Structure formats: C-alpha cells, structure tokens
Chain A
Amino acid sequence: MDESLTLHFTVPPDDFTRAGEASSSTKATLKQLGLPADVIRRVSIVMYEGEINMVIHANGGEITVTISPDQITMVLKDAGPGIPDIQQAMQAGWSTASGAARDLGFGAGMGLPNMKKCADTLDIDSTVGVGTTVTAVVRL
C-alpha cells in the first residue's frame, strides 16, 4: 500500500436496520488489504459505535475513512444536536439514549469510552445545535 485509500459512507437517520453497514464494509476492505486482525477489530468497534451514535443521537451523518500506510483515520460528522458536556459524555455509563435504543441493546453509555479504548487518538469537536465531528485514528 503506497497510496491512501478513502472510503465514504452516509449513515441514514433512525434506521437501525442499516446501522453497521459502514463498519462491516470497512472491515471487509481492511481484510482484503491484509491488515492485522487487531487493527481490523479496533477500527470496526470505533466505526460501529460511531455509526450507532449517529443513528440514535444525531439523525445520521457522514463517515470518511482514510487508510494510509501508517494509520487509519475515521472522521464521523453529523449535524445533530451536539454534545453539551463532552467530558460527561465520555464517562462510562453516561447516556441520554431513548428507551427505544435501550430496547435494542444500546444506551449503555459505553460507546464513546469503547471508541477511546480502541483508537490511538479520539477527538470530539461538538457544538450544541450545530453538530458533532468525531475523529479517531488507529495506527498501523
């Protein structure tokens, strides 16, 4: 791999049946590229949690994945309600998820902490009323 490869996904709003498409498609690409299993797993977890957050908290959004020789960068951008207190949102167990999301097995408040654990760096840029951009990097 001597060039970077960019993948782009649109995450539809409120569609649980399609949540996970971006992560599984990215996983398939990384597998084809022969990247280490651990990297694939970490990227998959970050992507999946990010996708689910977009569906349950932000009316969908856009994900761009850039695969370079030295790292995988995921940029998850939405125009949702924004996160008023990022530190609080990062706490394990903190969640504002709806009952519907909980019924589907989400809303444990573990998503952002999981993403942080799996990524080498995780940056959240959020403005209330404007949206949220999460940038995660997994190094190779």
Chain B
Amino acid sequence: MTLRELVDSGLFQVVNRGEELDRTVDRVFCCDLLSVAMCNAPAGCAWVTVMGNINTLAVVALTDAACVILAGGVQLDPPAAQRAVQQGITVLATDQPVFEAALAVHQRLHG
C-alpha cells in the first residue's frame, strides 16, 4: 500500500500530511521505547506509538519509517507538531489503543 492510500483510508485522523506520499508502507511496527524503536523500526513501516514528542519525529526521520501513528488519543506536543511540518513527516492519530490501530493497518496490508 502507498502512504497516500493509508493517509486517505479514513482509518486515522491526519495530523500532518507529509511528503513522499507515493512511498510504500509494507509493515506495522509497535513500540514506545524510543531507543528500541530507533534500533528496530524497519524502513517503510507504519510506526504505532503513544509517544508524541519531538524525539518521536527524530526516530521517524532516522529510521526512515513511512509514518508515525499516535494511538490512544495521544497528540503531538507543539514543538513536535512544528517539526513534523518542517520535516514533511506524515503523522496520523487515533483514539484506539496501540493494538487495534496496528491491526487496522495490518488488515489493510494483508486483507
């Protein structure tokens, strides 16, 4: 699935519509410890987390995750929101918990 398809799927609120919407999203990754995410988030993943600070965006940028999905009603704090716009990072959000959010993406990917 392309990032654009995920953004336009209606599954999630679109907090920031980033650049590179034609890139592929090929898996889901869940983790809230940034050091662990940093080392293990695969490039091209949709990363589901409840951390919505500036470091979350640094991890997205450094791992080449396709986008970040904030679960559990978490919002980006203001510096992070600014950074997302600046760096063209796609940020989605949902009130659903991490597992349900990830499952929704997984089902899109694998029918």
Q: Which of B35, B51, B54, B79 contacts A49 (CB 8 A)?
A: B35
A108 & B55 in contact (Cβ 8 Å cutoff): no
A117 & B39 in contact (Cβ 8 Å cutoff): yes
When A37-B43, A45-B38, A110-B39 are in contact, do A27 and B51 touch as well, CB less than 8 Å?
no
A106 & B55 in contact (Cβ 8 Å cutoff): yes
Closest to B37 in A: A105
Minimum CB–CB distance for B7 against chain A, Å = 23
Instruction: Give the total of B residues in contact with A, Cβ under 8 Å.
Output: 20
B35 & A110 in contact (Cβ 8 Å cutoff): yes
Instruction: Give the total of A residues in contact with B, Cβ under 8 Å.
Output: 23
Q: Which of A27, A105, A114 contacts B55 (CB 8 A)?
A: A105
B81-103 vs A, CB cutoff 8 Å, 1 = contact: the mask equals 00000000000000000000000
A17 & B79 in contact (Cβ 8 Å cutoff): yes
Q: Is A58 an interface residue (CB 8 A)?
A: no
When A105-B32, A105-B33 are in contact, do A20 and B54 touch as well, CB less than 8 Å?
yes
Minimum CB–CB distance for B31 against chain A, Å = 9
Minimum CB–CB distance for B2 against chain A, Å = 20
When A52-B55, A105-B56 are in contact, do A114 and B62 touch as well, CB less than 8 Å?
no
Instruction: Please indicate which of the listed interface residues A44, A49, A117 has the most CB atoms of chain B within 10 Å of its own CB.
Output: A44
Minimum CB–CB distance for A106 against chain B, Å = 6
Q: Which of B34, B39, B43, B79 contacts A105 (CB 8 A)?
A: B34
Q: Is A111 an interface residue (CB 8 A)?
A: yes
Q: Is B21 an interface residue (CB 8 A)?
A: no
Minimum CB–CB distance for A54 against chain B, Å = 14
Q: Is B61 an interface residue (CB 8 A)?
A: yes
Minimum CB–CB distance for A115 against chain B, Å = 10
In angstroms, Cα B63 to Cα A94, docked, is 24
When A17-B79, A44-B62 are in contact, do A104 and B38 touch as well, CB less than 8 Å?
no
In angstroms, Cα B43 to Cα A23, docked, is 17
In the A-B complex, the 9 residue pairs with the closest CB atoms = A20-B58, A105-B34, A110-B35, A44-B62, A105-B51, A108-B33, A17-B79, A114-B39, A108-B35
- List residues of chain B with CB under 8 Å of any chain A CB: 32-36, 38-39, 43, 51, 53-56, 58-59, 61-64, 79
